[in-house]
Every structure is written in C-alpha cells, then in structure tokens.
Amino acid sequence: MMSERPAPDIIMTARGLTLRRDGVTLLDSVSAQIRRGSITLLLGHNGAGKTLLLNCLHGLIACDAGTISGPPLARQKMVFQKPIITRRTTSAHLRFLCPRLDDAARHDWLRRAEMDRRADAPARMLSGGEQQKLALIGALATRPDILFLDEPTAHLDFAATKFVETMVCQAHQQGMTIIMTSHNRAQAERLGEDVLLLDSGRIVETAPADRFFSAPSHPLAKQYLDHL
C-alpha cells in the first residue's frame, strides 16, 4: 500500500515488503530507500527477486505486507526486458505511449533513436533492438519522475546497448531517478550510483556502487561478484 511521501532527498521508500506465493516467500521483509536523481542497480543471481521487487515498487504486483511511498503511478514508467508492442505502426505505437506528444516531438524522438525511417513500419516487425529502443523513448518522452528498467539491454547488440546506455545517462543528467536490473557487471559499474544486492528475496547489501564493486562487505556480495 502507499503511505506518506518520503523525505525530500529520498524519492521512494519501501518498508518491510513481503510477497508470498503458494507458501513460498519470494520477497522477505525488503526495506530500501531510493535517492532522488540517482541510478540504483538491483543486482543478484537469477531468482533472487530483482524483477519481483521492481514490479512491486512500480505497483504492478501487490505485496502481502509492507508499504511503499513515492511518486504517483502516473509519474512512473517501466520498460520491460521484452517490450509490449501493439498492432500499430512505429509512429502510432509511440503516439499510443505518449498521446500528449505533438507530431514534431514524436518525429524528433524517432530521429534520436535512428528510427524515423521506420515510422510507418509495423512496430511488431521491428527487430528486438528496435522494439526496445521504441519502448525506451516512449517511456522517456513522458519525462517520469522514476524510470524502472528490467534488464533493458538483455540480448541486444552493441549498437542498441550503447543507445540505451546513452539515453539512460542523458535522462540521469536531467535529474530523472532510474532503478534498473542488470546481469552485466561492466554496465552496472558504468551506470550505477547505488546498489541493492538481493539474495533469496532479501537485500543482503546496500552500498554506493564504487564501494560495492571495489570492497563489498557481505560474503554473499563477494561470491556474487566472483561469478558476475
């Protein structure tokens, strides 16, 4: 459930988030604070609970216990690992995602993604990288307070990955708060400012990214980095 707004320098606070399914605890009393304007990385092995936590923070999954305080859902956007694409042209899909964008602004976003020549192509016929770029500019164009990214460059080629990272950095420079998951250590080190490490549905370490990657304090964090 949503509660009172967090302190000015904290844009989102989670307290005691617990999620159970079929008698199994998937998130176990997770508490965290997200700094306004930061890039926060949710890290952990497969099955650690990263995507579940991302979905809970964004309000897509209701927890069994705990509270979340932060911006209203209308001021949040999420880009999934596999984007949801409608049966529209590329330009029409972007219009669907951002109905308040005028034609000139919509064309400019497509140009920035090097997709202006694909504006009239069926969005579902785009490559995986192009679909992810379309989903990302659709989220960024609404200028949300918080952007959630779930493995945004998984299975993308170098060019698409570079575009995603460049757009994330630009949004960050403009003050957007970004929370993302990644299995790419180099990417996490390039982009991350804060790290939350999850293991079996629990946060086992919270640290600034530079300290986490250079001198993790929890034994599980050291094991994780050895295999990342």
Is residue 211 in a domain? Answer: yes
- Domain of residue 45 covers 10-226
Question: Model confidence at 2, in pLDDT bands (50, 70, 90)?
Answer: very low
* Other CB atoms within 10 A of residue 78 CB: 19
Is residue 3 scored above 60 in pLDDT?
no
- What tokens appear for 141 in the block? 């164009």
Burial 22-59 (b: 16+ CB within 10 A, else e): eeeebbbebebbbebbbbbbbbbbeebbbbbbbbbbbe
Name which of 190, 152, 197 is nearest 45 in CA terms. 197
Supply the DSSP string of 46-70, one letter for each residue. TTSSHHHHHHHHHTSS--SEEEEES
Structure-token pair, residue 99: 């109905």
**Is 6 a residue whose pLDDT tops 80?**
no
Mean pLDDT over 59-72 rounds to: 96
Task: Give per-residue pLDDT as tens, 139-187.
Answer: 999 999 999 999 999 989 999 999 999 999 999 999 999 999 998 999 9
Confidence of residue 7 (pLDDT cuts 50, 70, 90): low
- Whether 44 shows a pLDDT value over 80: the answer reads yes
Q: Is residue 71 part of a domain?
A: yes
Percent share of the chain, pLDDT over 90? 92
CATH number of the domain encompassing residue 180: 3.40.50.300
Structure tokens at 51: 């995507």
Q: Kind of pairing, strands 177-181 and 39-43?
A: parallel
Instruction: Classify residue 222: in a domain, yes or no.
Output: yes
Mean pLDDT of 94-99: 96
- The tokens describing 199, both together, are 């293991």
Asked if residue 3 belongs to a domain, the reply is no
pLDDT at position 155, please? 87
Q: What is the largest CA-CA distance in the chain?
A: 53
Answer yes or no: is 5 within a domain. no
DSSP letter string, 142-198: T--SEEEEESTTTT--HHHHHHHHHHHHHHHHTT-EEEEE-S-HHHHHHH-SEEEEE
Question: How far is Cα 49 from Cα 157, in angstroms, rounded to an integer?
Answer: 26
Residue 111 covered by a domain: yes
Within-domain flag for 65? yes
Q: How many domains does the chain have?
A: 1
